[in-house]
Structure formats: structure tokens, C-alpha cells
Amino acid sequence: MNKEVLINCGAGEIRVAIVEEGRLQELFLERTIGLDDSALKKKGGRSGHSLIGNIILGRVQRVLPGMQAAFVDVGLDRSGFLGAREARCLADLPGFNDEERTPKITDCVREGEEIVVQVVKDPIGEKGARLSANVTIAGRLLVLVPNQPGIALSRRIEDESERTRLIAMGEQMLAEDKGALVPGAGYIVRSAGIGATVQDFREDAERLAEAWRPVMAKRQSAPVPSTLFHDLDPIERTMRDEVDAETSRVLIDDVQAYDAAIAYCRRAMPEAVDKIELFNGPDMLFDLYDLEDEIERLVSPRVPLPGGGWITIEGTEALTAIDVNSGSFTAATGLEETSLNVNREAADEIGRQLRLRGIGGLIVIDFIHLNDPANIETVLDTLHTSLSRDRTPTQISPMSEFGLVEITRKRIRDPLVKLMTECCRPCEGHGRKRTRDTVALEVIRRIERQAAAAPGKQVVVRAAPEIVDWLERHGEEVRTALARRGAPRVVFEARDEFAREGFDVGTAA
């Protein structure tokens, strides 16, 4: 399998695309400009990056026995949510076995108490961050679990002989420790650890110990609330989590990001250094696989299928509904064969779309009706295979007599459609329109493209007043980032004749 990682460090956001056999499989976006009104940037975050993985010293504000949860002040606009299951490592109960039951929240925390928690889910909409008291720090091969001794394995490691070998190596590493590791800590072996040696484990565990010790030191004197540990930035995190033995190359279109990736790999994964390449054009990085058009389509509800059918993806507050339509496709052998072929194509595409769009929560798929139980099993097997590539925990129900399949997928962040669009009831029946931030960032990318096509010339942007206002309000950030990306001379002109999504980018005469 030819897997490539493309990292576009634009002037307004960092975008990471995972491409396999020339096809987009995963997409990660982190905005770095225009998040002044966001809790992620105001408190606790770095340059607007996600809070997931951050370790925070917080204070318990309220304990709600009826909800078996507590709300913790972690320095954001809204308190974080700590469930009893995520707090059970704090339970002060002699002989308590956390595998048998979840303790009461009152056994774990008290109002006013200082506790160390980790963000496991970013704030979404009106909800605060989701927290866990069982903090972890991820390395390249291992995940450090300070509050839980022993060796565990990633669920993605399926080979039984390899599982046995890895557990034995982890236990050997702990038995041979001479004080370099975190005392009493446990480790989870990541899928990247397949094929590793005891020495590889030991080196990764020692790096994790170096990351953990400052956390404990800051814990002694830090004010409440305060962030004790930041997870890696998007570039280093991409190298750690996405680059593996199947990756043929990593293309990065920014010198600073390239240097950061090289430096991280030399420290943590030297075997990957030779895979990293600095992309210098002549076109834009995502043009290699026409990714811009595909990303644009990810906010559209309709997804075409190869055979002429399509799926429609519609989100509501309660769930995401996916409808499968046969369209123009007709199999010569009859209706059942037509339905089977369309359903298989849909099942294969749905897993990919859920990953790309970041859809979580309850998902209901309305497949075309099938009569043959063997055909139903075939469609479900295809869906299982499609979802098996997903790192995010997912569960699938059997197909009902009405052709419905329910999926639950852990919700980590807002879906892409909420990040890029907002409610707009009058707009042509679609119900959503692109946000001002999304349009402004598209303008910034267009400026980069224009500057690359006409080096040295002044770039002139004509856009709606609200877009120009956004660009001017973030003027210092925008101009500094654009200058670094080869567009030092830019003029913005507000034009009333442009609607929000309309703009023109050219060069001065």
C-alpha cells in the first residue's frame, strides 16, 4: 500500500491529509488564525491547537451524585465534565477493583478539591471539555499510564503471538528498570510497537519519563487552574501518530514545519527521517491529488458512488442519518443484485466519509432493502471492514427488518461541517452556509496561490466588507504568516457587491 502524508502549513491553518493509493483517507485541520473568540485559544491552548491530551490542574466545582459526575474548573469558559468512570482511579476504597464496577462519584472527588485531569474531548458546541483523571502521555511506541501499573496492548494489535511477545517484552522492561522509568507506572503498547525490541521500548519509556517529571514538579507550585502539560503540536503529533512502516513519504510545504518534523524524528523515530521531503511546488501541495475539490465536497450532504448511486449524509442534534440511493445504477440480474451492489459501495464509502467528516455520536444508515440474509451479511461485512480502519472507537448493530443499521462512533471534536459552516435557513434550502472564518481562510489560501503564480507582484483582494474586516482585524497575524509563505505585499479592498462567499484575488496592474 502506497501511503503518503501531506502537511500543508498555510498562513491560517495546518491541514494534514493522509493519502493511500492516490485517494484521500483522513483529514485533520487545526486553525491558527482567527480563534480569538474561542475557548481553545483564550485559555489553555497553544495558537488555537486542540486541547486533547493536555494535562491540567483543576478544581472540582460541583459534584452531582444524580449524574454520577463532577464539573471541574480547568480555566475554560465552561467547566469540564468528569464522569465517575473516568474518575475511578481517584476512588479511595480499600480493595476496590475498577474492572468489576464503577465507584460513586462521591468516592472519587469532593467539591473544592484540586485534581489533575486530562482533556479527552474538546469543547463541542455548548458542552465543556470531557475530562479523565487517568492521565496518559503518548510516545511513539508506548503510552505512559502513571496511575495504572502493568502492561496493556492497543486493540489494533490482533496477532496473538505478537501480543504475547509484546506483553513479555513490556514486563521485561519493567523488571529490568534501574530507576530511569516512572515508578509504579504502567504502559500501553501502541500498534507502532509491532516488531519493536525491548531496547526500543526502554528508550521510548525513558523519553516519556522525561516528559512526566516536569508535570509532577509543576504540580507542586502551579496555581489552580493551570496547564501542566501540552501534547505535541500538530506537526510532531502527525509524525508520531500517522507515519509508520507503510508510509512511503511525508511532504511538507513549509520550511519551519519541515525542520520541526526532522528534529522530532531524529529524537523519537530516526527511521522516518529519510521519508520527509520539503515540497517546493511548482503547484500547491494539495494539488498533487486534487484534494481542494474533495475537501470542498466534504460539507455537501451528497456523496456520489462509483456505480451511479449516492449516499446522503444529514446531521441533526440527536443523530446523523445516512440514506443510500441507487440512482442510475441497475444490475442486469435484477433488483436484489442492484440493491446488493449499491449497498456494498455505500458501506465501503461510509467508513471513509465518517473519518473525513469527523462525524461522531449515533449514526443511522438506511440501506436499500435486501431479502437474502447472505446479501445482508455481505453488506455488514463490508461495513465492518470499512470501519475497521478507524482509530476512533466504533460499534455496529445488526441490520433491522427495515434495512436500518445503527453505528455509534465516539465524538471527539466538532464535525467538519460545523467547523466550516453555520446555520442559514434561507440559503437555498441547504440550511447552512460557510462561516466568515472559513471564507477568510479560503481567501488566504488563494493569496498564497496567486503570489506563487506571480512572484514579487502585489496581490489585491476584493471581498465582502465582513471578510475584509476579519482579515484586517487579524492583520498582524495574517500579514506575518503570508509574508513567511511568499506573499509579503497584499492589499484588501471591501466591496459591497460581493456576498460573503464571493471574492476576487488578483495582482496589481
Q: pLDDT tens, 276-317?
A: 999 998 889 999 999 999 999 999 999 999 988 999 999 988
Task: Confirm whether 188 is domain-assigned.
Answer: yes
Q: What is the DSSP letter of 308?
A: S
Q: What is the extent of the structural domain holding 181?
A: 137-229
Tell me which of 360, 381, 416 is where a domain ends. 416
Task: Confirm whether 315 is domain-assigned.
Answer: yes
Tens-place pLDDT, residues 399-435: 998 889 999 998 877 788 888 888 765 555 557 888 9
337 Cβ neighbours under 8 A, 6+ residues apart: 331
pTM here is 0.86
Task: Confirm whether 270 is domain-assigned.
Answer: yes
Q: What is the CATH number of the domain that holds 492?
A: 3.40.1260.20
270 Cβ neighbours under 8 A, 6+ residues apart: none
pLDDT of residue 43: 42
- Judgement on whether residues 115 and 151 belong to the same structural domain of the protein: no
Tens-place pLDDT, residues 438-484: 999 999 999 999 999 999 899 999 999 999 999 999 989 999 999 99
- Specify the number of domains making up the chain: 5
- Judgement on whether residues 222 and 237 belong to the same structural domain of the protein: no
Residue type, 480: T
Task: Confirm whether 383 is domain-assigned.
Answer: yes
Least confident of 29-38, 134-143, 239-248, 305-314: 29-38
Task: Confirm whether 45 is domain-assigned.
Answer: no
Task: Confirm whether 17 is domain-assigned.
Answer: yes
Tens-place pLDDT, residues 224-245: 999 999 988 899 999 999 999 8
- Judgement on whether residues 110 and 150 belong to the same structural domain of the protein: no
- Judgement on whether residues 223 and 254 belong to the same structural domain of the protein: no
- Judgement on whether residues 282 and 243 belong to the same structural domain of the protein: yes
* Helix pair 475-484, 436-453: axis angle to 10 deg: 30
- Judgement on whether residues 339 and 379 belong to the same structural domain of the protein: yes
Q: Please determine, for residue 209, whether its predicted confidence score (pLDDT) is greater than 80.
A: yes
Band of pLDDT at residue 387, cut at 50, 70 and 90: very high
Task: Confirm whether 443 is domain-assigned.
Answer: yes
pLDDT of residue 41: 40
Tell me which of 98, 132, 166 is where a domain ends. 132
Q: What is the mean pLDDT of the chain?
A: 89
Least confident of 32-36, 76-80, 96-100, 455-459: 96-100
- Judgement on whether residues 324 and 409 belong to the same structural domain of the protein: yes
Tell me which of 81, 97, 132 is where a domain ends. 132
- Judgement on whether residues 314 and 384 belong to the same structural domain of the protein: yes
Q: What is the full DSSP assignment across 371-440?
A: --HHHHHHHHHHHHHHHHT-SS-EEEPPPPTTSEEEEEE---S--HHHHHEEEETTSTTSEEEE-HHHHH
Task: Confirm whether 210 is domain-assigned.
Answer: yes
- Judgement on whether residues 412 and 437 belong to the same structural domain of the protein: no
- Judgement on whether residues 20 and 114 belong to the same structural domain of the protein: no
Q: What is the CATH number of the domain that holds 8?
A: 3.30.420.60
pLDDT of residue 410: 87
- Judgement on whether residues 185 and 257 belong to the same structural domain of the protein: no
- Judgement on whether residues 495 and 437 belong to the same structural domain of the protein: yes
